[in-house]
Structure 1
């Protein structure tokens, strides 16, 4: 994703673990704010593909997301050999997200908040947050973490967008958010499932459609995480799909957005590109009509003298010619016009 969306050199690049999602959830919006990519690595060593991309990008700074349990000290040393690094971590995933926001956003009129226990809602919300220059903060389902509350208090946004239904972010948490930023207008984007929530976000933030739409897996996180800055560069929403069919909410949102370009993130073993809607019954092709039944073989012989006008002769010729050819020898010159000497002939 990085190679297709970012040219060299880059000012800042963000690096997070590709084995766990929490630290990278907030990183997509932060990377988009810095107009830089989000790359993934293994926890214990710098992945070869990531190392090669960093060398191509030649960034002036690398932000490492998460503590040493997510991106090891040895990996940080390797990254520092490519460009100066800054680690953004915290006591937990909520503090890491809050500290990422604090490091990158001096202010924000809008803040997005999603569950830190699942990736799907934050994944779809990342490009939306990027479009509105907003950070992504995380919460538990039942209580607003202290680090998240503190960052909301610092930013004092005029709008807060909650991602997911009450099962992901409860009404109690919504009340705690409102208490932290009393003047903020709170909007919730949710749906019957993760695919419907992603569709809801895309339709709300891109009401006039989008030239480009990104599609990522709704059941695995790595591809979608790294896609957020690329989607942001392309001013595109990110919808969630599956590897065998397109969920109905995704298909509906795609039709509403009316893109001229669809970008499928990941291989065919991860996401489908077929456009088949889940649960739809394939429509059998309409069989071709049966060929017309040929007339019975003629039982009498005709010649041009048997007809008074050319249309009469031509009608007999046209009736028998497809099945039997010029059986009566009415077309003397082979131009498919019978008895040209009769009145009315062309």
Structure 2
């Protein structure tokens, strides 16, 4: 069978008879032309391209093209059966090894209750994962590994069948615990206690303090605290809540850094914080700016200016979800999160200068075009090169968090959940998650979005930590109840 796909997503097929095919009535457009014989033949495309490559044949109005030929390559088969507890419904994922990079990427999916088979598998090296969509069984790779990097290779050769036999999955028993409190400040203190259950003799290196009633100034504090092996605590603009005061006394921080201007944390609170500083200065310091974007740049420059930041995360400062999800991911690669005005048509000169000062060579954008304009993306590409800009832009805040988890936390079985409709709990958890090399996935208050649920299942997570009380994360989250589609 011959197939043609245009750049608008349309497709047309035609039978191959005696080695010849014909497409009639094509619109003037560019097409990807591919060929596949039924059973055991790899999908082979004209020009050597694949299905996800750009279209490579252009047809003009009234034009007749001949000689759009290719030699199809006979593939192989992978067969097997998978069994587990309950009444499982398996998603069987075949991941192909890129011979150039060595990475394993999604190739094919199959859905089954037991037996599975992949035909027309191109010769190459693969790894295979089984995921139970009913959540009764742990995801695992053939044979037995939790993560792709530890799985056994499956080598497929042209025209041959690989029989994997029976795969037996283990029941999925998640250790789910909660760190909660009567309000966001009690949660913040409780999370800090988990981050530093034992206090070093000299006290903790640094505590970043931010306004717990508003989000902008604090969003860049997470990666800074992670890099400095420190902590984050929330206050109000005009007071240090009692749980936070008690936690500061316990932490005995060598430094306290207040993020934001006097509208976020006033001068009286700043001076009250002096009493908890155990370092030589004896004073809490402030990192601020004329607006939230300047404050973000100043935090990044303070924490990363000496060592530089080869990688930088960019997120909009007009809202909080993208930057919240970015915090632990950025911390995992010792990178700052820098906030910009996502609605602006171009990147501001101050951020451009900061990227040069930090010797940045790659940029991860968190948020789609609704959050961050194409103009900003193009300006970033102009600084580090298009191939060094990666966009994590799912259709929702939950998708973005899941994408970051799948990319930066492929070797962890611990996941943090925080509500995605408020910022305080996720912000408090940033330093803890960074220390544990674990992601913070944003969820609804009483259910788990599909993209998050899928990633947690595919990761075969062993432990989930809920950050926030029952009002923030209800019983539906505890039960891993999927959100309605």
Q: Same fold (TM over 0.5)?
A: yes
Look up the match of 2:484. 279
User: Hey, what's the Cα distance between the residues in 1 that align with 2:351 and 2:472?
Assistant: 33
Equivalent position to 1:2, from 192, 197, 208: 192
Contact kept in structure 1, 2:361 and 2:388, CA below 8 Å: yes
1:275-323 CA deviation, whole Å, 9 max, x = no partner? 000127xxxxxxxxxxxxxxxxxxxxxxxxxxxxxxxxxxxxxxxxxxx
Mean alpha-carbon deviation: is it higher for 264-273 or for 183-192? Answer: 183-192
Mean alpha-carbon deviation: is it higher for 177-186 or for 4-13? Answer: 177-186
User: How is 1:64-213 mapped onto 2 (pairs within 5 angstroms)?
Assistant: 64-83=258-277, 84-105=283-304, 106=306, 107-141=308-342, 142=344, 143-182=346-385, 185-207=388-410, 209-213=411-415
User: Hey, what's the Cα distance between the residues in 2 that align with 1:129 and 1:184?
Assistant: 19
Look up the match of 2:238. 44
Contact kept in structure 1, 2:260 and 2:286, CA below 8 Å: yes
- In structure 2, runs of 5+ residues without a counterpart are 1-190, 278-282
Aligned residues: 279
Q: Relative to structure 1, is the Cα distance of residues 37 and 159 closer, same or farther in structure 2, using a 3 angstrom cutoff?
A: same
Q: Relative to structure 1, is the Cα distance of residues 102 and 183 closer, same or farther in structure 2, using a 3 angstrom cutoff?
A: farther
User: How is 1:260-299 mapped onto 2 (pairs within 5 angstroms)?
Assistant: 260-271=462-473, 272-279=477-484
TM-score in terms of structure 2 length: 0.56
**Greater strand share, 1 or 2?**
2
Equivalent position to 1:34, from 224, 228, 231: 228
Post-superposition offset of 1:184: 7.4
**Greater helix share, 1 or 2?**
1
Look up the match of 2:251. 57
Aligned partner of residue 54 in structure 1, secondary structure: helix
Post-superposition offset of 1:67: 0.6
Which structure has the bigger radius of gyration? 1
Q: What value does the CA root-mean-square deviation take over the aligned residues?
A: 1.4
TM-score in terms of structure 1 length: 0.78
Look up the match of 1:228. 430
Look up the match of 1:332. none
Aligned partner of residue 81 in structure 1, secondary structure: helix
Q: Relative to structure 1, is the Cα distance of residues 185 and 113 closer, same or farther in structure 2, using a 3 angstrom cutoff?
A: same
Look up the match of 1:337. none
User: Hey, what's the Cα distance between the residues in 1 that align with 2:253 and 2:386?
Assistant: 39
Alignment pair present for 1:248 and 2:442? no
Q: Relative to structure 1, is the Cα distance of residues 184 and 77 closer, same or farther in structure 2, using a 3 angstrom cutoff?
A: farther
Contact kept in structure 2, 1:210 and 1:236, CA below 8 Å: yes
Aligned partner of residue 219 in structure 2, secondary structure: helix
User: Hey, what's the Cα distance between the residues in 1 that align with 2:351 and 2:289?
Assistant: 12
Look up the match of 1:286. none
1:27-84 CA deviation, whole Å, 9 max, x = no partner? 0000000111110000011221111111000011000000111000000010012112
Which structure would you say has the larger RCO, counting Cα contacts within 8 Å and 6 or more residues apart? 1
Contact kept in structure 2, 1:152 and 1:181, CA below 8 Å: no
Post-superposition offset of 1:269: 1.1
Post-superposition offset of 1:256: 2.0
Contact kept in structure 2, 1:94 and 1:145, CA below 8 Å: no
User: Hey, what's the Cα distance between the residues in 1 that align with 2:454 and 2:215?
Assistant: 28
The list of structure 1 runs, each at least 4 consecutive aligned residues, that deviate by more than 6 angstroms after superposition, is none
Post-superposition offset of 1:204: 1.0
Contact kept in structure 2, 1:102 and 1:151, CA below 8 Å: yes
User: Hey, what's the Cα distance between the residues in 1 that align with 2:310 and 2:458?
Assistant: 27
